[in-house]
Structure 1
Amino acid sequence: MTLRSALARIGGNEDLNFLLTNRLPRRFATKLMGRISPIEQPLVRKASIGLWRLFCDVDLSDAADSRFRSLHHAFTRALKPGSRAPDPDPRVLASPSDAIVGACGRVEDGRLYQVKGMDYALADLLGDETLGAPYRNGSFVTLRLTAAMYHRFHAPHDLSVEEVRYISGDTWNVNPIALKRVERLFCRNERAPIRVRLDRGGHDMLLVPVAAILVAGIRFTFADVGPHIREGGTRAIPLPGLVHMSKGEEMGWFEHGSTIILFAPESFALADGIEPGVQIRAGQALMHLPE
């Protein structure tokens, strides 16, 4: 048995997987990853990138760089120009990231689910009843970024960023095994709701990046959060004036795999083929805007 197949067998054992990825000191492990991943010393760089590629099925063929200064540089890699061109149809809301689609569908009277049999309140996720009011019966899609994926996320349409909040929280793993075992998991983890307004139709939408274990930070291209977003605790993040972004423009990145939950008004519909378990790339059709 190869080492990779042995690791795959461990990953397939749900009890062991949950124990290894959630019962260790999550905050300590996250801080440790935040310190190790930027190290550029050749031995550390080679070992950390080697372990990452051993544990994850990483494809770096479309990366803009062929050599990486550190594990952090590889995780947060940019891509070659044109690698994630957004769907040009103005009626299409594009996926903001590469991801595996998780729970998706309709919010029902302010409640949605992380997996079947595990629901949670939209107001708990956002920390604000008013912020979630336009989506009480809206559409939602959960997008899970694995550790091997491209970690940057992009504007799903031409839009203006209206508001950004940061909510302090834990760093549970967000894989399907944890989602089946930890109630209200997304409401427990740290997250950063982003309220945007689309140019087309003036529709409001929400993107909610959710951090997870080993995520040393969420970064935005349009706002300065300082060295670490969690410093300062729950708060509104100031914007540098009017922030307008074109469809496909980079909005930010995770410093490890995580999740984005996207909310749209009731009049939006999921694109064909969007269902749990489907793998999607940034720029592909995710939802359709109303006529």
Structure 2
Amino acid sequence: MHRSDHQPDLPPLQWRAALSLLRRLPQGALSRGFGRLADAHIPPGMRNAVLGAFARAVGADASEAELPLEAYPTLNRFFTRQLAAGARTWPVDASALASPVDGAVGQLGVIREGRLIQAKGRLYDVAQLLEDPAAAARYEGGAFITLYLSPRDYHRIHAPLGGEIREARHVPGALLPVNAAAVAHMPDLFARNERLMCHIDGEAGRVAVVAVGAYNVGRISAAFDREWNAPAGASAWVTNRRGLQSAARRYEPAVPVRRGDEIMTFHLGSTVVLVFEPGHVTLDPGLKPGDAVRLGQALGRWG
């Protein structure tokens, strides 16, 4: 049983003050401003220096990128880089649940009474996360895991299991930070921030893949439905555009995906929450909050 009658571990006072101020600022407009900077063209002769400095500052491994630094015309294009062939591997075992991203484990466990763990002393509702009470009911008693991506990580999101996408949803919202301080301090953070999600139906039941946006750009693009992205072009996206309302999409015929197929991309962000139907997926009991994971790493198994 989840417990919520103990106090959360709050971040230092300076962080709480900064987060309180940020809640009062126009996060979407500020993030769009950062997005314009990330889309600024970098002259070819400066790309090695500029992008190399960024990679060193955040700890990104540029040697894993598909292309040399001088091939990326903007910071956003480098941030959303594809990996070189062979940089990641996928489990041979067809029943393995694979990590959809590079990142770190936030929280994991079982959904109880419709709630997931955000941090110590902080729970939030799966119905609010999915913005769909009927869909949320399917996941009661199932496993969940939260994966946080830092700026150094590879930021494309891949299918953790094979199946078909019949439903997807975009939920506009806040663009608050999702670092450890914010997760500890802000109630309902993942259900409050803007997010793009899809549900994959397959032999492992249904899994919700929820990409949560964050402060600083906050764009998420959909590889499973490229027509949803705007404006048109290589750096198109679904989220953090003015005037959008919550929107659900249903696909007939369904969109087939194999384990490992790219399904979404973060353009400077954030966190992925995986939610599973009960009785299908068992997470690796050795996983714990703070563990680093890599794309394709086995996180558990289904069946």
- TM (normalized to structure 1)? 0.87
Task: Provide closer, same or farther for how the CA distance between residues 22 and 66 of structure 1 changes in structure 2, counting only shifts above 3 A.
Answer: farther
Distance (Å, rounded) in 1 between the aligned partners of 2:62 and 2:50:
15
Cα distance, 1:272 vs structure 2? 4.2
2:163 alignment counterpart:
159
Task: Provide closer, same or farther for how the CA distance between residues 249 and 216 of structure 1 changes in structure 2, counting only shifts above 3 A.
Answer: same
Cα distance, 1:287 vs structure 2? 2.2
Distance (Å, rounded) in 2 between the aligned partners of 1:76 and 1:283:
18
Question: In the alignment, does 2:96 pair up with 1:92?
Answer: yes
Distance (Å, rounded) in 2 between the aligned partners of 1:48 and 1:114:
36
The 5-angstrom pairing of residues 78-227 of structure 1 reads 78-198=82-202, 200-201=203-204, 203-223=205-225, 224-225=227-228, 226-227=230-231
1:229 alignment counterpart:
238
Q: Deviations over 1:118-167 (max 9, x none)?
A: 01111111111101111111100000011111000111122111111001
Which structure 1 residue ranges, 5 or more long, are not aligned?
A: 1-12
2:4 alignment counterpart:
none
Q: Deviations over 1:222-268 (max 9, x none)?
A: 21222242343210135484311111111121001300100112222
RMSD after superposition: 2.2
1:28 alignment counterpart:
29
The one-letter amino acid paired with 1:285 is A
2:261 alignment counterpart:
249
Q: Identity across aligned pairs (percent)?
A: 32
The one-letter amino acid paired with 1:190 is E
Q: Which stretch of the first structure deviates more once superposed, 46-55 or 227-236?
A: 46-55
The 5-angstrom pairing of residues 26-65 of structure 1 reads 26-42=27-43, 49=51, 52-53=54-55, 55-65=57-67
Cα distance, 1:20 vs structure 2? 5.2
The one-letter amino acid paired with 1:41 is I
Distance (Å, rounded) in 2 between the aligned partners of 1:275 and 1:205:
20
The one-letter amino acid paired with 2:195 is R
Cα distance, 1:40 vs structure 2? 1.4
Counterpart contact for 2:145–2:274, Cα < 8 Å: yes
Counterpart contact for 1:39–1:45, Cα < 8 Å: no
Counterpart contact for 1:209–1:261, Cα < 8 Å: yes
Counterpart contact for 1:37–1:48, Cα < 8 Å: no
Distance (Å, rounded) in 2 between the aligned partners of 1:52 and 1:172:
22
1:6 alignment counterpart:
none
> Please, which of 263, 266, 270 is the counterpart of residue 258 of structure 1?
270
Distance (Å, rounded) in 2 between the aligned partners of 1:240 and 1:148:
37
Counterpart contact for 2:130–2:136, Cα < 8 Å: yes
Distance (Å, rounded) in 2 between the aligned partners of 1:28 and 1:22:
17
1:285 alignment counterpart:
298
Q: Which stretch of the first structure deviates more once superposed, 271-280 or 96-105?
A: 271-280
SS at match of 1:34: helix
Q: Which stretch of the first structure deviates more once superposed, 147-156 or 80-89?
A: 80-89
Distance (Å, rounded) in 2 between the aligned partners of 1:22 and 1:52:
28
1:9 alignment counterpart:
none
- TM (normalized to structure 2)? 0.84
